[in-house]
Structure formats: structure tokens, C-alpha cells
Amino acid sequence: MQQRIGFIGLGIMGQAMAANILKAGYGLTVYNRSSHKAEALAAAGATLAHSPKELTERCEIIILMLTGPEAVDAILQGENGVLASECSGKTVINMSTVPPAYSRQLNQQLESYGITAIDAPVSGSKIPAEQGTLVILAGGDEAAIKQLEPLLLSMGSGVIYCGEAGTGSSMKLAINLLLGTMMAGLAEATHLAEASGLATETFLKVVGAGALACPLFKIKEQMLITDTYPPQFPFRHMAKDMQYVLQEASQNAVSLPVANRLAGLFDPHAPDALLDQDFAAVKTLLK
Ligand code: NAP
């Protein structure tokens, strides 16, 4: 019998990822704190759960795609949380971006309940989530991850095994440091081009014409030209991830001068009007 899948966290990413699991033919139960975000999936054939506990009781595999540790704790440990159910023997795949130290501690906690715990954050944003082309960065028991691969590949184009518990989260932070660096660099170079009297379109055409061309720059092109930033990867999330990067650097006693500057730009205390935009809105800070 095919395993029953539960998906918790139907935000920008979760909605699209859950839809792809459903399309792949899995029996899917969904839960979201704000229940209206589950309506489209219910209309497409998913079963609605009224609490994480109810969802866990219906499913063998529970996927989490939540903001960060606070949200994961609320979903697991709340009054009607995952851990309030009979959960021994189940699998929890945490695809949220969280600090590696938190992932390791979560893995131990879940294993003490008899749960197999995998950290599997993703590289790729809203569009790859919709297209099912995310790159999935998996940490934890390798044999368990191998078994989960068909399910993971319903959401992504590749599963990269990173190592023991927490290494998926470590990989994700290193990737997001590079992502933040590339985005801030493109925004600053565009700002200089504009200040020098060059047309934004012409500058971005030059970027895309040579060795600097990359899918990220292409995806953000229209945002930079129009100076409008509908959220795909919200500024708020990049700001939290830069804080995790700094924590990780401090725990590993490494110096990251670029990350320090980025954490000042991607400031988690910025106004909500900025935090709610796409992280490409870093360009607006330069004006
Ligand atoms: P999002 O749209 O902000 O969704 C966040 C989800 O977490 C929502 O379902 C939200 O529920 C839930 N949540 C937050 N706090 C909660 C709490 N205290 N209790 C219960 N549920 C809570 O975020 P997203 O863009 O989908 O990102 C999800 C995760 O993937 C984040 O860790 C992010 O860093 C990572 N990620 C995002 C992208 C991207 O491009 N967007 C790419 C790669 C990785 P409500 O709907 O009720 O608020």
C-alpha cells in the first residue's frame, strides 16, 4: 500500500510542493495554521486535517514546510501538535530552513519518540516549487532518505545526500549565503549602472549575454527593471537566514566578512513593508 503523506505549512513554497505530491498520485492530508490556505488543495483532492495531531494520526510520513524553529516547535509540541499523537514508527521530513544546531537537536528529540527524522531543506524558490524542480538537500539516515526518494522527487529534480542529521540544514545556509551575495551584488551593480545614466534593461542584457548569465539573475530581471518586488523568496526569510548564517559562523569560529555586511542589509528589524517583499527589494535600500 502506498504510504499516506501529511503536509504541514502551506505558504508560498508548501502550497506548490503539496500540489505536486498530490499530482504524483500520493494520498495527501494537509494542515495549515491559517486554514484558508488549504482550500485549493482540498478542492484538488487533498484531505483537510484540523490539527497537526489529527494529520499525524492519518499519515505515515509528515512533511513540514514552515518559517523556522518557532513554527516547527509550535506544530510539533502544541496542545494538538504532532507529538501529541501516537507517532512512534512515523517519519518526519523537515523541509523548512532552520539552523543546523536546531536540526540536530530536533533529530534527537524526534528519535526519542521513535520517529525517523530527516532534514531536507530546498534550493529553489516559488517557480521551481511550482514546476517540481527544487533541489532537495537531505541530511539524516542515508537508507531512510533513499527510501523516501520517490516522494522527494515528486517535488524536486534532484535529491543530494549531504550526510548525517543537520547537514541538509548546513548545506542550505551555505547556499543561501551565496544567494544573498549574488542578489545584493546584482542589485548594487544595477544601482551603479542606473546612477551612471545607463538603461536598466541594457545593463541586465549585458549581464545575461556573457559568463555572468545565470537563472537567478534572469528570474529577478523584471523586478529590477520595474522596481516592483512581489514575494517569491520574501526579504523576511533571507533576513532570518542571514542571522542563522552568523550563528553558524560563530559556532564554527569562522570569519565571514561578506555575511556580516549582508546581515546589515537583510535586516530582520526592517519595516514590514520591506520584509514582505521579495528579497530582490534589497535594491531599494541603495537609493
Ligand atoms: P511562508 O509563505 O511565509 O509560509 C510559512 C508557513 O509557516 C505558513 O504555512 C505559516 O502559516 C507557517 N507558520 C509560521 N509560523 C507558524 C506558527 N507559529 N505556527 C504554525 N505555523 C506557522 O514561507 P515560504 O516562503 O513558504 O517558506 C517556508 C520555508 O521554506 C522557510 O523556512 C523558508 O526560509 C524556506 N524557503 C523558502 C523559499 C522561498 O523562495 N519562498 C525557498 C527555499 C526555502 P500561516 O499561513 O498560518 O502563516
- Judgement on whether residues 70 and 48 belong to the same structural domain of the protein: yes
The residue whose CA is least distant from atom 19 of ligand 1 is: 71
For residue 62, with 0-12 CB atoms within 10 Å meaning exposed, 13-18 middle and 19 or more buried, which class applies?
Answer: buried
Residue 261 half-sphere exposure toward CB, CA atoms < 13 A: 7
Q: Verify that 37 and 154 share a domain, yes or no.
A: yes
**Residue 204, C-alpha cell as written in the block:** 541586465
Which CATH number does the domain housing residue 242 bear? 1.10.1040.10
Q: Say if residues 165 and 104 touch (Cβ distance below 8 Å).
A: yes
Q: Per-residue pLDDT for 36 more than 90? A: yes
Q: Are residue 26 and residue 138 in the same domain, yes or no? A: yes
One domain for residues 131 and 148: yes
Residue 39 and residue 18 share a domain: yes
Nearest atom (ligand 1) to Cα of 97: 32
Pocket test for ligand 1, best of 10, 15, 32, 67 (most atoms within 8 A of CB): 67
Q: Which of 142, 164, 186 is the last residue of a domain?
A: 164
CA–CA separation, 215 vs 89, rounded Å? Answer: 40
pLDDT, one tens digit per residue, over 145-157 is 999 999 999 999 9
Active site residues: 172
Residue 101, pLDDT above cutoff 60: yes
Q: Say if residue 20 is in the same domain as residue 160.
A: yes
How confident is the model over 45-68, as a mean pLDDT? Answer: 98
- 32 Cβ closer than 6 Å to some ligand 1 atom: yes
- Please give the Cα distance from 1 to 26 (Å, whole number): 11
Average pLDDT over the chain reads: 97
The yes-or-no verdict on residue 1 having pLDDT over 60 is no
| CATH assignment of the domain containing 108 | 3.40.50.720
Same domain, 15 and 143: yes
Q: Is residue 55 in contact with ligand 1, taking CB distance under 6 Å?
A: no
Same domain for 15 and 97?
A: yes
- The verdict on 214 and 74 lying in the same domain is no
Q: Clarify whether residues 129 and 210 are in a common domain.
A: no
Of 102, 132, 164, the position where a domain reaches its end is 164
For residues 142 and 192, membership in a common domain is answered with no
Taking only the tens place, the pLDDT of each residue in 161-220 is 999 999 999 999 999 999 999 999 999 999 999 999 999 999 999 999 999 999 999 999
In this prediction, residue 2 has a pLDDT band, given cuts at 50, 70 and 90, of: confident
- Contact 181/258 with Cβ under 8 angstroms? yes
**pLDDT higher than threshold 60 for residue 43:** yes
Domain count, the chain: 2
Ligand 1 proximity of 10 Cβ (cutoff 6 Å): yes
Q: Confidence band (pLDDT; 50, 70, 90) for 91?
A: very high
For residue 3, the model assigns a pLDDT of 86
Q: Is 90 in the pocket of ligand 1 (CB under 6 A)?
A: no
- Judgement on whether residues 179 and 99 belong to the same structural domain of the protein: no
Among residues 164, 185, 212, which one ends one of the domains?
Answer: 164
Distance CA 8, CA 18 (A): 9
Band (111; pLDDT cuts 50, 70, 90): very high
What's the domain range around 51?
A: 4-164
